[in-house]
Amino acid sequence: MKIEVWSLGPFETNAYLLTSEDDKSCLLVDAPKDAAKKILPIIQSRGLTLTHVLITHGHWDHMCDAHAFVKAGVEVLAHHDDQQLIENIEAYRDRYTAMMPFLTDNDFRSTHVTQWLKHGDTFSALGRTFEARHVPGHCPGSLLFYSATDQLAFSGDAIFAGSVGRTDLPNGNWNQLLQSIRTHIYSLPDATVLLPGHGGSTTVGREKQTNPYAKP
Ligand SMILES: [Zn+2]
Ligand SMILES: [Zn+2]
Q: 102-153, pLDDT tens digit by residue? A: 999 999 999 999 999 999 999 999 999 999 999 999 999 999 999 999 999 9
How many angstroms separate the alpha carbon of residue 99 from the centre of ligand 1? 14
Going from the N-terminus, what domains does the chain have, and what CATH number goes with each?
A: 2-210 (3.60.15.10)
How many angstroms separate the alpha carbon of residue 22 from the centre of ligand 1? 33
Query: What is the full DSSP assignment across 19-87?
Result: E-TTT-EEEEE---TTHHHHHHHHHHHTT-EEEEEE-S---HHHHTTHHHH--TT-EEEE-GGGHHHHH
What lies within 8 Å, CB to CB, of 138 at 6+ separation is 57, 156, 157, 158, 164, 165, 166, 167, 169, 172, 177
Banded pLDDT at 72 (limits 50, 70, 90): confident
Mean pLDDT computed over every residue of the chain: 97
- Mean pLDDT confidence for 24-46: 97
Angle at 160 between CA 156 and CA 166, to 5 degrees: 75
Q: CA dihedral in degrees (77, 211, 7, 72; nearest 10)? A: -10
How many angstroms separate the alpha carbon of residue 201 from the centre of ligand 1? 17
Strand partners, 76: 53
